[in-house]
Amino acid sequence: MRTLIFLLTLFLSLLPADAASDRSPNIIVVFMDDMGYADIGPFGAKAYPTPNFDRMAKEGRKFTDFYVTQAVCSASRAGLLTGCYNVRVGILGALGPRNTHGINASEVTLAEICKQKGYATACFGKWHLGHHKKFLPKQHGFDEYFGIPYSNDMWPYHPGVRHLPMAERLKRWPHLPLIDGNAIINPALTGRDQEDITTQLTERTVSFIEKNKDRPFFVYLPHPMVHVPLYVSDRFKGKSKAGLFGDVMMEVDWSMGQILDTLRKHELDKNTLVIFTSDNGPWLSYGDHAGSAAPLREGKGTMFDGGCRESTLMWWPGTIPAGSECNTPAMTIDILPTVAELIGAKLPDHKIDGKSIVNLLTGTNAKSPHEAYYFYYGSQLQAVRMGKWKLHFPHGYRTMAGKPGGKDGIPTRYSQSKIGLALFDLEKDIGEKTDVKDQHPAVVNRIKTLADAIRADLGDRGAKGKGQREPGRL
């Protein structure tokens, strides 16, 4: 027996690198845009069916307390792809077509982590980390890229300029391009073009999986939907019986089904980790063209949980326990180090903020690797979550204040409000309604101490921290 084991070990050591890499798990990250906490069936959606997300939850794991770094597009994507709080890497807010900065070449992306181990890598969808060539995915570890460089409303058909002549519109918003690799293949997307985009991204993803089924691969699929303006293919128009938003969600659910079915078809399902989440909560001012964050407070553009806590599913049959649920806080910054551990890749030499949550994926234990998570909006530290507690520091925020949003893609105005120092017990008060700071002074003081330390590292309200890095610039 010992001789047999020795010979087997020797044989495996002599296998070519490609053969060894076949045993590494494939990674797929699906990143929605502006999807609310309650917009899929496993988290409460009832107005339209989402059978494939239901299937992911049944066969995988729900993460009920999963966060993004900031409740806005570019900042959120920076956190996911670098494993860092976005303020560390200098990406704030939502980059637009006039911006001349983006992700720095010195940052190590999730794709570059995977490239260490010979993975095929692709990004299909909305990038939003700089639209100039040096910032695009192909320069940051992705073998393939197909999609739009920033949000699908950053174009001359934006509701705020549609009343103007086209010449005036173009002074505010240039045409929205479609990019393949580094080349613009359509310089001016139309609404009809956007109707096909979910289908195109899905087909690209399926094709990439099939092309690379015999080697490890990483796919990043950041859907432009359900960010307004909403568009859906003819196949799904009116299908939900719940308006355009429901139609779009059904098409995204179909997209996920195509991916899962492809993995099963090629017997890749037991060797593929699929992560589904969103970049921030719903854009509530758009009313019937926005989703729901219920039972969470507020939505996109705020650091209440409705803006930054995302409905999240992770699926890996045979590794992730089926039909399970994780209530331990986690964040997108943890995805990069988790993947690095799973595939045996080296972490970046510079500081990152995320930590591996392999234990949360596998259900081996529910202990968080973090004492706390920190919530900035812009450059301001607005809140800290420590265990079940979330402490808000005084700040202003936008709110619908109980008013309904707009209709048919035209938003209504937000009101402005303020919150003082406030502590919430999220286990008892998921909607962040009842301030309990006076009953728990020790908790408040501990979080304040943690906040002081992160301010020294990442700054606050324009004051620079010693650990901040510059974005890339032209």
For residue 21, pLDDT over 50 is answered with: no
DSSP per-residue letters across 114-178: HHTTT-EEEEEEE--S--SGGGSGGGTT-SEEEEESS-TT-STT-TTTTTS-HHHHHHHSPPPPE
Class of domain 23-370: alpha beta
Mean pLDDT for the chain? 95
The average pLDDT across 145-149 equals: 98
pLDDT of residue 20 exceeding 60, the answer is no
- Is the pLDDT score of 348 beyond 60? yes
Catalytic residue from among 73, 114, 308, 326: 73
- Residue 73 annotated to the active site: yes
Question: Distance of CA 60 to CAs 20, 126, 163, 307, 373, Å?
Answer: 26, 26, 47, 24, 25
Q: What are the structural domain ranges in the chain?
A: 23-370, 375-473
pLDDT of residue 1: 44
Mean pLDDT of 309-334: 98
**Which among 425, 270, 272 is positioned nearest to 339, based on CA atoms?**
272
Grouping H, G, I as helix, E, B as strand and the rest as coil, residue 415 is strand
pLDDT tens digits, residue range 254-305? 999 999 999 999 999 999 999 999 999 999 999 999 999 999 999 999 999 9
Which residue carries 């939900």 as its tokens?
A: 240
The one catalytic residue among 84, 128, 308, 326: 128
d(CA 418, CA 111): 39
What local confidence, expressed as pLDDT, does residue 22 receive?
A: 53
The CATH class of the 375-473 domain is alpha beta
Q: Is the pLDDT of residue 19 over 90?
A: no
